[in-house]
Amino acid sequence: MKPSLDRPCFSRRTQRISLWLTIGLPLYTLSTGPVAWATNDAFHPAYLPDQVWSIYLPLAPLLNVPGANQLFGWWTAIIWHGFPAGYTTL
Contact predicate 35/86, CB 8 Å: no
- Euclidean distance between CA atoms 61 and 19, whole angstroms: 24
The H helix count followed by the E strand count for the chain is: 5, 0
**Degrees to nearest 5, angle at CA 29 with 54 and 43:** 45
pTM for this predicted structure: 0.64
Contact predicate 66/20, CB 8 Å: no
Domain ranges of the chain: 3-79
pLDDT tens digits, one per residue of 34-50: 877 777 655 555 666 67
pLDDT beneath 70, residues of the chain: 1-7, 40-49, 82-90
- Euclidean distance between CA atoms 56 and 20, whole angstroms: 18
